[in-house]
Amino acid sequence: MNYAVKEMFLTLQGEGVHAGRRAVFARFAGCNLWSGLEKDRANAVCRFCDTDFVGMDGEGGGRFADADAFADAVARLWGDEKERRFVVLTGGEPMLQVDAALIDALHDAGFEIAIESNGTIAVPRAIDWICISPKAGSETVQKTGDELKLVWPQSGSDWEEMENWDFANLLIQPMDALGDPVVSEANVRSAIKFVQLNPKWRLSLQTHKILGLA
């Protein structure tokens, strides 16, 4: 198997329970809920995406011939430190490409593996930290994991139903309205109010955007 990767970079995990943790991000090209082209956004299943995942032309991106080549690139970005090695597989939709060989190669290189997935494709439990972010209008098949991260508000998504799923952490992440600061701020206020009313849930902010990190 080869892997089409938009970009790979060293940063801090910006979101969720691991926010603030040093991490290599590997962003896979392509998604099953949007083509990634602006002309298709209005008709996509997922319409609020903040990410360019088209092609392989980003920093550290490219086509990796096999799992070892992928893991070598991740390890090079991490550097020599042997402790607490952490890689986040994201996209696009990483589960279109992640397979057992890749998971094994990253584990062999000493990495704890996290994934950011839309939950429409089952995620192997061999992945150490499963974060699922369900999208209204899609079928969520992965209803277990470490972190459920619901982008808020999303009409047509049933958060009460999600409380019955098997996730160790429930998070609400305000929707970035992509260039509309008034709406973005309203979404933050709405998310805070939601958590104040629903103590099973915690707030997740996109701290990398606040901090000016990738």
Ligand X SMILES: Nc1nc2[nH]cc(C(=O)O)c2c(=O)[nH]1
Ligand Y SMILES: C[S@@+](CC[C@H](N)C(=O)[O-])C[C@H]1O[C@@H](n2cnc3c(N)ncnc32)[C@H](O)[C@@H]1O
| Residues found near ligand X in the complex (CB under 6 A) | 11-15, 25, 51, 90, 116, 208, 213-214
Nearer to ligand Y, 109 or 188 (CB): 188
Residue 208 partner contact from ligand X, ligand Y, ligand SF4, none using kind-dependent CB cut-offs of 5 to 8 Å: ligand X
- For ligand Y, which residue of 93, 113, 114, 167 counts as binding (CB under 6 A)? 93
For ligand SF4, the closer CB: 60 or 92: 92
Q: What are the φ and ψ backbone dihedral angles of 196, each rounded to 5 degrees?
A: -65, -30
In DSSP notation, 19-43 reads: TT-EEEEEEES--SS--S-HHHHTT
Site for ligand SF4 in 169-208 (CB under 6 A): none
Contact between 22 and 16 under an 8 Å Cβ cutoff? The reply is no
- Do 170 and 204 touch, CB atoms closer than 8 A? no
Q: By CB under 6 A, name the one of 13, 97, 118, 154 that touches ligand Y.
A: 118
Which residues have CB under 8 Å from 109's CB, separation 6+?
71, 72, 74, 75, 85
Determine contact, residues 27/5, Cβ cutoff 8 Å.
yes
> Which parts of this chain interact with ligand Y (CB under 6 A)?
31, 48-51, 90-91, 93, 116-118, 133, 149, 151, 173, 175-176, 178, 206
